[in-house]
Amino acid sequence: MLALVVDDSRAMRSILTRLMTNLGFDVAQAGDGAQAMAVLDAGARPDVILVDWNMPVMDGLTFIKQVRAREEFREIALMMVTTESEQGNIVRALAAGAHEYVVKPFTDEVIADKLNLLGLVPA
């Protein structure tokens, strides 16, 4: 199973990558929404995308909207990664087409639960 981690912070990408790797995912990374879009355009089909809210170039919300606007990406699960200070955004993210969200900081268990809810049970 492949996860795509989209976050502008290198450290944050490392953290999320480690988390997802521990859960048995293969992980690809992108530094913002536009890069992530390019990864998808190039043919990658991750099972889930973890996307940060606040990024330069293309923010998480725009990215979610763009992914949702494309038929060929409909199988991809979208998970918004946000913080409690951005809770108001969760509704916007879900309305834009995100399937789930997690609030930073979160533990392996929390994200595993969320993934289970999405029917993603990695090997």
Partner 1 sequence: MEAIDEIVAEFLVESHENLDQLDRDLLALEQNPNSRDLLASVFRTIHTIKGTSGFLAFHRLEKLTHVGENLLSRLRDGRINLTEERSTALLAMVDAVRNLLGDIEQTGVEGETDHSQLIETLSSLLEDGAPAAAAPAAPAPAVPAQATAPAAESAAAESAAVPPPAEPAAESEPAEPEAATATATKTATATKRAPAKRAAKKATPPATGGQPAGSDQGSPPIGEVLVEAGAATQDAVQIARMEQTLGDQRPLGKIMVDHGSTTPAAVEGALETQSAHRSVVDSSVRVDVELLDSLMRLVGELVLARNQLVSRLDDERDTAKDSALARSAQRLSLVTSELQEQVMKTRMQPVDAVWSKMPRVVRDLAKQCGRKVRLEMEGRETELDRSVLEAIKDPLTHLVRNAVDHGIETPETRKATGKPEEGVLRLRAYHEAGQVHLEIIDDGAGIDHDRIAAKAIERGLITQGQLSTMTKREILHLIFLPGFSLAAKVTNVSGRGVGMDVVKTRIEAIGGAVDVTSKLGQGSTFRLTIPLTLAIIPALTIGCAERRYAVPQVSVLELVRLSGEHARGGIELISGAPVYRLRDMLLPLVRLDEQLGLVPMGQADTSPDDRPIDRERGGFIVVLHAEQQRFGLVVDDVLDTQEIVVKPLGRHLKGIPVYAGATILGDGSVVLILDAATLARRSNVLANNLGVTAEDHGLEVEPIDPVLVVEVAGDRRAAIPLEMVTRLEEIPATSIERVGGREVVQYRGHIMPLVRLSTLLGAYGDATDPDAGVQLVVYTRGERSVGFVVERILDIATERSGTRSDIDDHALVGSVVVGDKVVELVDMQSAVLAADPHFYSSAGGLSTGEITSKFEEALV
* Binder of partner 1 out of 18, 95, 108, 110 (CB under 8 A): 18
Rule CB under 8 A: say whether 58 interacts with partner 1.
Answer: no
Q: Which amino acid is at 83?
A: T
Tokens 């809770």 locate to 87
* Binder of partner 1 out of 23, 58, 68, 83 (CB under 8 A): 83
Using the CB atoms, write b or e for 22-43: b if 16+ within 10 Å. Answer: ebebebbbbbbbbbbbebbeee
* Binder of partner 1 out of 29, 73, 111, 120 (CB under 8 A): 29
- How far apart CA 27 and CA 50 sit, in angstroms, is 10
Minimum gap (Å) between residue 12 Cβ and partner 1: 5
Rule CB under 8 A: say whether 89 interacts with partner 1.
Answer: no
Task: Label each residue of 4-55 as H, E or C.
Answer: EEECCCHHHHHHHHHHHHHCCCEEEEECCHHHHHHHHHCCCCCCEEEEECCC
Minimum gap (Å) between residue 121 Cβ and partner 1: 18
Rule CB under 8 A: say whether 38 interacts with partner 1.
Answer: yes
Q: Which residues bind partner 1 (CB under 8 A)?
A: 2, 4, 8-12, 14-15, 18, 21, 26-30, 35, 38-44, 46, 54-56, 83, 85, 104-105
